[in-house]
Amino acid sequence: MGYTLDFSVVWQALPALLWGCLGTLGLALAGMTLAMIIGVAGVAARDSKAAWLRAIVIGFVEIVRNTPFLVQIFFLFFALPLIGLKLNPTATAIIALGVNGGAYAIEIIRGGVQSIHQGQVEAGYALGLHKGHVFRFIVLKPALRAIYPSLTGQFIMLTLTSSICSAVSAYELTSVAQRIESDTFRSFEVYFSVTFLYLAISWLLMLGFAVISRRFFSYPTR
Amino acid sequence: MTPHFGLPEFGFLLRGLQWTVLLTLVAFAGGCTAGLAVALMRTCGHKGVEWITSVYIGIFQGTPLLLQLFVVYYGLALTGLKLDAFVAVAIGFTVNASAFLGEIWRGAIQAVPRGQSEAAMALGLHYSSRMRDIVLPQAIRISLPATIGYLVQLIKGTSLAAIVGFIELARAGQIVSNQTYQPLLVFGVVGAMYFILCWPLSWWGSRMEARLALANQR
């Protein structure tokens, strides 16, 4: 075999790669924030009285969920300037992630809202809780508890999906890796190492989400 | 002179669509075969084997598909084998599919009531007959909605082959878009083609899921 693996290039580029990790996390966090806004607004519109509004939301969800993210980001990349939004690649990537994640968030949040039985709210009022407490303890917390696993899973999915944003050269881990690869020609070494950086990111996120869940969403046992 | 988006360009996209479908079918067939092996190993009862397969599945679920493709693509190139781009990306998607389908079917195998395999054991059936005749036929029914869901994921995922340079639908769209300077029209058409491919499957999957949920209620 004429090729010897050389991981020293990866070691030298480690600071840049770690910055890339932060870029990925930032991109995913901004995208998820936008996705949540779209999700909540979408759920409100999905259950509104106006039939055309409901149709738009259903159409949006189906289109986003049945086309590849790569095609979505290319489309937005060219469509956003036409509506007057001249953005840099990273901002375009955030919008694309937000739109993509938003469609999935609509479905998830809607499931959470539907899981709260109307009788629960009435029972809360019957017990003499005021409006704020009913919303906080009877609607919000159980709904969040119900959707927490799928919502955090969606966040991790979005973090992994953000690697595709390298196709429009947004600042994140994969595009950093591509730059290092084109400088050093050590394709396999670079991508192999970066794959494990992504694995570390998703493990850390999973661990963090489990800690949060135990701290905030566990039922009181005492 | 720049060509406009016309019939020849549409034909080029259709040929890209053919490669997308072919790539999906090859990866799905390969993924089903390897995924069955993964699912059986994951539920075989041997602690070490189960642990190794759970790590295997965890790696594929915790890393981006794009990076998995890069690693397989450039890793295969290192072995010195002169592989066609199609073969290389097909292997990449197959490996990914084996992990995801393996995990889906593990869940389905474990969802088959224990009494079924216990009864089969009591009847003296050995492992292969127990799996083939009792557990798997029931598990397949349970896993069908999720399996179809993964198939849709796979169709969408094959678009990433465009980034490593294989000309399927998404890459064909990029090429036509660069030639005609009509990116919105081209990517709109490409998106519509993916949608026509994926949406009936999604619809079928969710209908089956609803029917299965109804059957379990009774």
Average pLDDT over residues A6-14: 85
Confidence of residue A221 (pLDDT cuts 50, 70, 90): low
Instruction: Quote the mean pLDDT of chain B.
Output: 91
Q: What is the pLDDT of residue B214?
A: 83
- CA-CA distance, B147 to B132, in Å (whole number)? 19
Summary count for chain A: helices (H), strands (E): 10, 0
pLDDT per residue as tens digits for the range B99-158: 999 999 999 999 999 999 999 999 999 999 999 999 999 999 899 999 999 999 999 999
Evaluated on CA atoms B156, B157, B160, B164, the torsion sign reads negative
Chain B residues touching A2 at Cβ < 8 A: 80
Q: In degrees rounded to 5, what are phi and psi of residue A169?
A: 50, 50
Count of CB pairs separated by less than 8 Å, A with B: 112
Q: What is the pLDDT of residue B31?
A: 95
Instruction: Give the distance between the most distant pair of CA atoms in chain B.
Output: 77
Residues 143-172 of B with CB under 8 A from A: 152, 156-157, 159-160, 162-163, 170
Residue of B nearest to A159 (CA): B64
Which residue matches tokens 């990449």? B92
| Res B164 pLDDT > 70 | yes
Residue B59 is nearest to which of A82, A161, A199, comparing CB atoms?
Answer: A199
What is the predicted ipTM? 0.90
Q: What is the pLDDT of residue A2?
A: 67
pTM of the model: 0.89
- Rg of the Cα atoms in chain B: 21
Chain B residues touching A78 at Cβ < 8 A: 183-184, 187
Tokens of A54: 């409901």
DSSP B165: T
Q: How far apart are the first and last CA of chain B?
A: 67
Q: If DSSP codes are grouped into helix, strand and coil, which group holds residue A156?
A: helix
Q: What is the pLDDT of residue A202?
A: 95
- CA-CA distance, B57 to B42, in Å (whole number)? 9
Nearest to B74 by CA among A17, A1, A6, A189: A189
Tokens of A207: 């661990």
A interface with B, Cβ–Cβ below 8 Å:
1-3, 5, 62-63, 65-72, 74-75, 77-79, 82, 156, 160-161, 163-164, 166-167, 174, 187-188, 191-192, 194-196, 198-199, 202-203
Burial of B33-43, coded b for 16+ CB within 10 Å and e otherwise, reads: ebbbebbbbbb
pLDDT per residue as tens digits for the range B61-91: 999 999 999 999 999 888 877 788 899 999 9
| Res B45 pLDDT > 80 | yes
- CA-CA distance, B10 to B16, in Å (whole number)? 10
pLDDT per residue as tens digits for the range A82-127: 888 888 999 999 999 999 999 999 999 988 888 888 888 899 999 9
Q: What is the pLDDT of residue B37?
A: 95
Tokens of B79: 């072995």
Chain A residues touching B59 at Cβ < 8 A: 199
Which residue matches tokens 């159409």? A59
DSSP B3: P
- CA-CA distance, A78 to A17, in Å (whole number)? 29
Contact B73, A195 (CB under 8 A): no
A143 CB neighbour count, 10 Å cutoff:
17
